[in-house]
Chains A and B, each alone.
Chain A
């Protein structure tokens, strides 16, 4: 993603394809964006 996505823009492919670690191993982040979703990026755990 080059710049900030504007509201109403589709989720950038780079974000959907980012690899994350969940309870059962690695996934694409997009695997969790299958319906209305609030995606929250934490500053850190703790």
Chain B
């Protein structure tokens, strides 16, 4: 979320989708101070949106996930209680104003984190494309 102001400056809204119960959504928004303009937090306990986005939900996270968890613990990050589906993995999609997906990334394991640089670069490319299209009209 550190790069949210950059995305807002580029005219990109952000929607976060969780998988916990609606009450957990409210707690998450409050605890993480996410009640901000340009940012929407929703939840889908049915996981229908996650399935529609073809996000992975492996039966077991495997050795790779265990190594990632150990690395996080060694770095001083102790994860709290999981609120949501423990098997579901995340992902990100950048969608342009005409509803096209111009960037997508699906996590391959629990520790496979999004690279915010990639997202900001994709948003910048979108802005450049839109401005170029505007000049052509």
Tell me, in angstroms, the Cα distance from A9 to B85 when the chains sit together. Answer: 28
CB pair B43 A41 closer than 8 Å: no
| B49 at interface by CB-CB < 8 Å | yes
Q: Which of A1, A4, A9, A41 has the most CB of B within 10 A?
A: A41
Q: Which residues of A contact B80 (CB under 8 A)?
A: 46
* Cβ contacts under 8 Å, B43 to chain A: 20-21, 45
Q: Is the CB of B12 within 8 A of A38?
A: yes
* B13-A38 in contact (CB<8A): yes
Q: Are A43 and B42 in contact (CB under 8 A)?
A: no
> Whole-angstrom distance between the alpha carbons of A7 and B92 in the complex?
12
Indicate if the CB atoms of B82 and A23 lie closer than 8 Å: no
Q: Roughly how many angstroms separate A27 CA and B40 CA in the complex, as a whole number?
A: 12
Residues of B in contact with A, size category: 35 or more
Interface residues of B (CB under 8 A from A): 7, 10-20, 22, 24-29, 40-46, 48-55, 79-86, 88-97, 99-104, 106-107, 110, 114, 119, 123, 126
Q: List 30 A-B contacts (CB under 8 A).
A: A4-B104, A8-B102, A9-B101, A10-B99, A11-B95, A11-B100, A12-B52, A14-B51, A19-B44, A20-B17, A20-B43, A20-B49, A21-B25, A33-B95, A33-B99, A36-B11, A36-B94, A37-B13, A37-B14, A38-B13, A38-B15, A38-B93, A38-B94, A39-B92, A39-B95, A40-B16, A40-B114, A43-B89, A45-B27, A46-B83
